[in-house]
Amino acid sequence: MSDTVLELASITKEWFGVPAVSDLTLTVPRGNVVGIIGENGAGKSTLMNVIGGVTPPTRGTMRLKGEPYAPGAPRDATRSGIAFIHQELNLFTNLSITDNIFITEYPRRFGMVDHRAAMTQTQALLDRLDIRHAPETMVEDLAPGERQLVEIAKALHRDADVIIFDEPTTSLTPRETARLFDVIERLREDGRSILYISHILSDVRRLCDKVAVLRDGRLVDEGAIGDFDIARMIRAMIGRELSSLFPDRSNLPSGQVMVQVDGISQPGVVADISFQIAAGEVLGLFGLMGAGRSELARILFGLDPAEKGSLSIDGREVRGAAMQRIRDGIAFVTENRRSEGLLMDAPISENISLATIGHIGRGPVGLLDREAEQALAEQARSDLSIRASDLTRQPVRALSGGNQQKVVIAKWLAASPKLFIIDEPTRGVDVGAKYEIYALVDRLAAEGNAVLFISSELEELIGMCDRIMVMNRGEITATFDPRETEPRFEREALLAAAFGEIVT
Smaller CB separation from other proteins, 113 or 343: 343
Smaller CB separation from other proteins, 257 or 415: 415
Query: Which three-class secondary structure state does DSSP give residue 385?
Result: coil
> Any contact of residue 372 with other proteins (CB under 8 A)?
no
Q: Contact with other proteins (CB under 8 A): which of 307, 358, 447, 483?
A: 358
* Cα separations in angstroms, 182 against 75, 161, 179, 189: 28, 18, 5, 11
> Any contact of residue 95 with other proteins (CB under 8 A)?
no
Binders of other proteins among residues 239 to 258 (CB under 8 A) are none
In the complex, the smallest distance separating the C-beta of residue 340 from other proteins, rounded to whole angstroms, is: 5
Instruction: Yes or no: say if 269 and 474 are a contact pair by the CB < 8 Å rule.
Output: yes
Q: Which amino acid is at 192?
A: R
* Cα separations in angstroms, 409 against 160, 387, 482: 44, 14, 28
Q: Contact with other proteins (CB under 8 A): which of 111, 365, 371, 502?
A: 365
- The window from 128-136, 199-207, 236-244, 366-374 that contacts other proteins (CB under 8 A) reads 366-374
- The window from 100-108, 167-175, 255-263, 360-368 that contacts other proteins (CB under 8 A) reads 360-368
Q: Contact with other proteins (CB under 8 A): which of 103, 134, 346, 375?
A: 346
In the complex, the smallest distance separating the C-beta of residue 343 from other proteins, rounded to whole angstroms, is: 4
Smaller CB separation from other proteins, 186 or 393: 393
Q: What is the DSSP letter of 355?
A: G
Size of the site for other proteins (CB under 8 A): 33
- The window from 156-164, 253-261, 276-284, 333-341 that contacts other proteins (CB under 8 A) reads 333-341
Smaller CB separation from other proteins, 54 or 415: 415
Exposure b/e, 266-301, CB count within 10 A at least 16 = b: beebbbebebebbbbbbbbbbbbbebbbbbbbbbbb
In the complex, the smallest distance separating the C-beta of residue 368 from other proteins, rounded to whole angstroms, is: 6
In the complex, the smallest distance separating the C-beta of residue 345 from other proteins, rounded to whole angstroms, is: 6
Q: Which amino acid is at 374?
A: Q
Pairwise CA distance, residues 126 & 417, whole Å? 51
HSE of 213, CA atoms in CB hemisphere, 13 A: 22
Encoded one letter per residue, x for contact with other proteins by CB under 8 A and - for no contact, window 292-321 reads: ---------x-x------------------
Binders of other proteins among residues 409 to 468 (CB under 8 A) are 411, 415
HSE of 131, CA atoms in CB hemisphere, 13 A: 30
- The window from 37-45, 68-76, 198-206, 358-366 that contacts other proteins (CB under 8 A) reads 358-366
Q: Contact with other proteins (CB under 8 A): which of 345, 447, 481, 501?
A: 345
Pairwise CA distance, residues 40 & 402, whole Å? 10
Q: What are the two backbone dihedrals, phi and then psi, of residue 28, each rounded to the nearest 5 degrees?
A: -115, 110
Burial class (CB in 10 A: 0-12, 13-18, 19+), 384: buried
> Any contact of residue 361 with other proteins (CB under 8 A)?
yes
Q: For the chain, what is the radius of gyration of the CA atoms?
A: 25
Q: Contact with other proteins (CB under 8 A): which of 94, 243, 339, 382?
A: 339
Smaller CB separation from other proteins, 117 or 344: 344
Q: Which amino acid is at 206?
A: R
Q: Contact with other proteins (CB under 8 A): which of 357, 385, 392, 447?
A: 357
> Any contact of residue 368 with other proteins (CB under 8 A)?
yes
Pairwise CA distance, residues 217 & 42, whole Å? 5
Handedness of CA 151, 156, 158, 159 (dihedral sign): positive
> Any contact of residue 190 with other proteins (CB under 8 A)?
no
Pairwise CA distance, residues 153 & 141, whole Å? 17
Q: Contact with other proteins (CB under 8 A): which of 73, 103, 230, 323?
A: 323
Pairwise CA distance, residues 386 & 121, whole Å? 53
In the complex, the smallest distance separating the C-beta of residue 192 from other proteins, rounded to whole angstroms, is: 38
Residues 6+ apart with CB under 8 A from 41: 400
Query: Which three-class secondary structure state does DSSP give residue 263?
Result: strand
> Residue 115 is inside which H or E element, if any?
helix 115-128
> Any contact of residue 343 with other proteins (CB under 8 A)?
yes
Q: Contact with other proteins (CB under 8 A): which of 354, 439, 446, 495?
A: 354
Residues 6+ apart with CB under 8 A from 327: none
- The window from 34-42, 279-287, 337-345, 463-471 that contacts other proteins (CB under 8 A) reads 337-345
Pairwise CA distance, residues 217 & 210, whole Å? 19
Smaller CB separation from other proteins, 156 or 296: 296
Binders of other proteins among residues 388 to 407 (CB under 8 A) are 394-395, 397-398
Smaller CB separation from other proteins, 77 or 318: 318
- In the complex, the residues that contact other proteins under the rule CB under 8 A are 301, 303, 322-323, 326-327, 332, 334, 339-346, 350, 354-355, 357-358, 360-361, 365-368, 394-395, 397-398, 411, 415
